[in-house]
Amino acid sequence: MLIGYCGFRQRGGGESGRAALWTCVAAAEFPDIDIVTAFFGRDTYFRWHRSFTHSAILLPAWAALLALVFWLIWDRKNFRLLWWAAAAGIASHLVLDWLTNYGTELFWPLSDARLALSWVFIVDVYVWAIMLIGAIAAVWTQRAWVARATLGMVGAYFLFCGVSRFWALHEYQTGPVAGRIDAFPRPLDPLHWTIIRDDGVAEHWVNGVRNDTFVQFHDDKLLPKAEATDAVKLFRWFAVFPLVEKIKENGHTVLRYRDLRFRSRFPGGRVEEGMFLVAKVVFDDHGNVIWSGLSSERE
């Protein structure tokens, strides 16, 4: 809505402006239409969410499709204006997803790499608050500068988060540090970051005074069989800091994979254990795989 009020709503006047505004709003929501893949199972959803509908390469085509729909609904009002409104709306969605730590296939189908700046948590109430106040003011005043100023404030907040993340990594790496390192946002706290370091043997999860170490499970019998399953291959493609653990569940030996990227400390000190997406491989007493798949914290 804010992008729509940056000039699309005011351009053309009357029905053309309203058509452009609602085209922009619909386009900003459009990429998440890929939620329909959830009807085909969790594995399908995680494979295709934030892929083809979130592709910057396909953005012009998706914008043309949405512009055509609203052009027909609004009695053929200024197709070029509607295309630009749709393109701006879709682009805003892609940028906002890119800023989080989830990962987005921006260059699909040329690449299935999941790109993530990890500047903000997946849900950021500060961004919501700024945009809500700005949207109300823009609707009330019908002034483009109000919407532009609001988006400028949101952009400044994102840049602040990016600089804060850079500084957190810089402070952590003051001395010699071995291994792969990254920083991830904490919920409701843009000033502090969760640092994860993988030294090849163990993963170190650093959050303030907490420094938890997780040792990767490894053997020559169970692990190769688990790695060969489709569920683990899909998980490893999705995960950034995968952790493999050997546990017991219902009398069976289980290799559990979780992503420490999603092990987040929430206000009040409560820590979620990174069970947002878990791959499990269940073995019988002879070491044979009897089940493998994706699950969640409650399963």
State the pLDDT confidence band at 173, using cuts at 50, 70 and 90. confident
Does residue 27 surpass a pLDDT of 70?
Answer: yes
Q: Write the Ramachandran bin of 274: left for phi over 0, alpha for psi from -120 to 50, otherwise beta.
A: left
Compute CA distances 224 → 191, 219, 234, 290, 295, whole Å. 41, 8, 15, 15, 20
| Sheet of strand 202-207: strand arrangement | 180-186, 189-198, 202-207, 210-215
Assess contact for 151 and 135: CB atoms under 8 A.
no
* Token reading at 87: 């393109």
**Terminal Cα distance for the chain, rounded:** 38
Q: For residue range 142-158, list pLDDT tens digits in order.
A: 899 999 999 999 999 99
Query: Which residue, 231, 253, 251, is CA-closest to 242?
Result: 231
Asked if 93 and 187 sit in the same domain, the reply is: no
Strand-pairing partners, residue 210, are 207
Asked if 109 and 214 sit in the same domain, the reply is: no
Q: Which amino acid is at 124?
A: D
Asked if 112 and 196 sit in the same domain, the reply is: no
Asked if 184 and 290 sit in the same domain, the reply is: yes
pTM of the full structure:
0.91
Asked if 18 and 105 sit in the same domain, the reply is: yes
In a domain, 143, yes or no: no
Angle at 33 between CA 30 and CA 39, to 5 degrees: 175
Tell me the average pLDDT across 50-56.
Answer: 97
Instruction: Calculate the average pLDDT of the chain.
Output: 92
Which of 84, 118, 152 is where one domain is finished? 118
Q: Which residue has the higher pLDDT, 108 or 172?
A: 108
CA 15 distance to own-chain centroid: 35
Which of 102, 118, 134 is where one domain is finished? 118
Assess contact for 264 and 271: CB atoms under 8 A.
yes
Angle between helices 14-29 and 59-73 (to 10 degrees): 140
Q: What's the domain count of the chain? A: 2
In a domain, 71, yes or no: yes
Tell me the average pLDDT across 106-131.
Answer: 95
In a domain, 135, yes or no: no
Distance (Å, whole) CA 232 – CA 238: 10
Q: What confidence score (pLDDT) does residue 12 get?
A: 60
Q: For residue range 232-281, list pLDDT tens digits in order.
A: 999 999 999 999 999 999 999 999 999 999 998 887 777 888 888 899 99
The DSSP code sequence of 103-159 is -B-TTTTT----B----S-SS-HHHHHHHHHHHHHHHHH--HHHHHHHHHHHHHHHH
In a domain, 128, yes or no: no
Q: What confidence score (pLDDT) does residue 111 get?
A: 97
Does residue 54 surpass a pLDDT of 90?
Answer: yes
Asked if 198 and 287 sit in the same domain, the reply is: yes
Assess contact for 10 and 54: CB atoms under 8 A.
no
The DSSP code sequence of 44-108 is HHHHHTTSGGG-TTTHHHHHHHHHHHHHHHTTS--HHHHHHHHHHHHHHHHHHHHHSSS-B-TTT
Q: For residue range 194-210, list pLDDT tens digits in order.
A: 999 999 889 999 998 88
Domain that holds residue 226: 180-295
Which of 118, 135, 168 is where one domain is finished? 118
Give alpha helix (H) positions in 173-229: 222-227
Q: What confidence score (pLDDT) does residue 142 get?
A: 87
Asked if 21 and 105 sit in the same domain, the reply is: yes
